[in-house]
Structure 1
Amino acid sequence: MKKYGHLNRDIARILAAMGHGDSLVIADCGLPIPPGVECIDLALQLGRPGFGETLDSILADFQCERAVFAVECQSHNVMARDKAEALARAGVALDFVSHEELKRRCHSARAVIRTGECTPYANAILHSGVIF
C-alpha cells in the first residue's frame, strides 16, 4: 500500500503520466468539464475539499512551471488571488485570462480535478515543468 504522496489512485496516475508542458486543472465544483477530458471528482460536499488545500496538495508533488488563473479572481476571490501570488513568488510563471478563455483552455488538459470549492473563480490550470 502507498505510504506517502497522493493516495488517490487517479491523481497519482495522472501526475505520473504528465510530460513537460502538459496541463492539469484544479477546479471549483461549478466549472464545466469539457467532453473527453478526464474528471477526477473529489467533491464531497460544498466547500470540501477546498480549492486551496487541493492545490497545495498537488503542488507538493508536481513540478509546475506555469499557472493560469481567471483575471476575475483578482477582484472576486481573495483566496484564489493569494494562491496565484504565492505561485508567482515561488518562481512559477503566471498568466491571467478571462474566465471564458480559461474554460476554453480546459479542453486541452490531461484531467480536471474537481473540488468541492463553492466560491467563484477558484480554478487554475497548471502546466508541467521538468525536474532536471
Structure 2
Amino acid sequence: MKRTGILNAQLSGALATLGHTDLILVVDAGFPIPREAQRVDLAIAQNVPDLRTVISLIADEIIVEGVVRADDVTSNNPKLDEWLLDRFADAEFSTRSHADMLGELALQAKVIVRTGAFEPWGNIGLFCGVDVPQWFGGEGIIAPDYYASKL
C-alpha cells in the first residue's frame, strides 16, 4: 500500500503523465468539464474535498512553474488569491477572463481535476515546470538566464 501522497489511483496516474509546460486545472464542483478532457472527479459532497487541500496535495507532487486564475479571483475572492500567492511564491502568475477559464483553457488542459469546492471562481490552472537544480545544476552546464535565479 502506498504510504504517503496522493492515494487516488486515477489522480496519481494522471499526474505521472504531466511534463514541462503541461496544464492541469483544479476546478470547483460546478465547472463545465469538456467531454473530451481527461477528467479526474474527486467531488463527493459540498466542499469535500475542498479546493485548497487538492491543490496543495497536487503541488506536493509536481513542480508548478505558473499559476493561472480568472481575473475575478484577484478582485472578488482575494483570500483565495492571497493563499495562491503564498503557496506558489516562486511561480509566475497570470489571469484570464472567467469565460477563457471555462472555455479555451479547459480545452488546453491535459488533466482537469474536479473538487467538491463551492467557491466563487475556484478554478485554478497549474503549469508544470522542471526541477531547475536537477536539470541545470550539473558541472559544466550553463542554465538559461530565466532559470539562473532558481539555481
Aligned to 1:94: 93
User: Partners of 1:80 and 1:10 in 2: how far apart?
Assistant: 26
Letter in 2 for 1:52: R
1:76 Cα deviation from its structure 2 partner: 2.1
Aligned to 1:48: 48
Q: CA RMSD in A?
A: 1.3
Count of residues paired in the alignment: 131
Deviations along 1:35-93, whole A, 9 cap, x unmatched?
210111111111111111111111111100011000101222233212332145x2100
Letter in 2 for 1:59: A
Matches within 5 A, 1:79-90: 79-88=79-88, 90=89
User: Taking CA–CA contacts closer than 8 Å with sequence separation of 6 or more, which of the two structures ends up with the larger relative contact order?
Assistant: 1
User: Partners of 1:115 and 1:78 in 2: how far apart?
Assistant: 20
Q: Is the 8 A contact 1:68 1:126 kept in 2?
A: yes
TM-score by length of 1: 0.93
Letter in 1 for 2:92: A
User: Partners of 1:110 and 1:27 in 2: how far apart?
Assistant: 13
Q: Is the 8 A contact 1:84 1:94 kept in 2?
A: no
Aligned to 2:142: none
Q: Give the 4+ runs in structure 1 shifted more than 3 A.
A: none
User: Which structure has the bigger radius of gyration?
Assistant: 2
Deviations along 1:6-31, whole A, 9 cap, x unmatched?
10111111111111101100000011
User: Partners of 1:58 and 1:82 in 2: how far apart?
Assistant: 18
In structure 2, list runs of 5 or more residues that go unmatched.
Answer: 135-151
1:4 paired with 2:1, answer no
User: Partners of 2:73 and 2:10 in 1: how far apart?
Assistant: 28
1:125 Cα deviation from its structure 2 partner: 0.7
Matches within 5 A, 1:1-132: 1-88=1-88, 90-103=89-102, 104-131=104-131, 132=134
TM-score by length of 2: 0.82
